[in-house]
A = this chain, B = another copy of it.
Amino acid sequence: MSGADDPRPCGLRERKKARTRAAIRQHALRLFREQGYSATTVEQIAEAAEVSPSTFFRYFPTKEDVVLQDDFDIIAVEKFEAQPAAMHPVAALRASIREALAEAPPDQIEQWRELNRLTLSVPELRSRALDAFVESAALLADVVAKRTGRNPTDFAIRTLAGAVVGVGMSVMMMAADDPLADVMALMDAGLAHLEAGLPL
């Protein structure tokens, strides 16, 4: 259920921590599903996971982070850096997303889907997700700058990164309107459209 945990569980301590973390998230998501995000208190989550509220906050700095702490971005960025340098940035990004999805186990993808759904439907979470998106964009801009041997603060590069992120957000909003939509497929289409020069 909780997908990508540490690939090598070393000490007993590490394993227990991972289990606690997974338990908290699992019970949190269940409660959110059953009674809604804001109607669920941290105290309830802690009780369900059989830890103290203090411990909850040790594992997740905020209630939002139970939903938002997500490794998809990180994986995608890793994939991006592995793309051939000659590739157009937008094309490289599309490839990265495709690869990240292809390699992830199905239950991981299903969890991403649920987190996505939740994020889109709770305004509080959506705001923070957008913020994370923008941060990823800054990272993307840096990576693109490195690939093209230009300054990371280059206006053209940052504007491009901004446009990419904007398309991503627009896709998120479209997916929010239609919960049955395949977010990742839409994302690919949106980036393809951007690659084509945004024809109307």
Query: What is A's interface to B at a CB cutoff of 8 Å?
Result: 89, 123, 126-128, 130-131, 134, 137-138, 141, 148, 153, 155-171, 173-174, 177, 189-190, 193-194, 197-200
Contact = CB atoms under 8 A, between A and B. Distances in A.
Nearest to A156: B200
Contact of A194 (B137, B159, B200): B159
- Interface of A, secondary structure class, is helix
A137 B130 CA distance: 13
Given A123-B131, A130-B130, A131-B123, A163 B167 contact: yes
Give the number of copies in the complex: 2
Given A159-B194, A163-B170, 10 more contacts: A141-B170, A155-B193, A156-B198, A157-B200, A159-B198, A162-B166, A163-B198, A165-B166, A165-B169, A166-B168
Which among A131, A153, A159, A189 has the highest number of chain B CB atoms within 10 Å?
A159
Contacts of A148: 200
Contact of A134 (B155, B159, B173): B173
A165 B170 CA distance: 9
Nearest to A157: B200
11 contacts: A126-B131, A153-B174, A155-B189, A156-B193, A156-B199, A157-B200, A159-B171, A159-B190, A159-B193, A162-B173, A162-B190
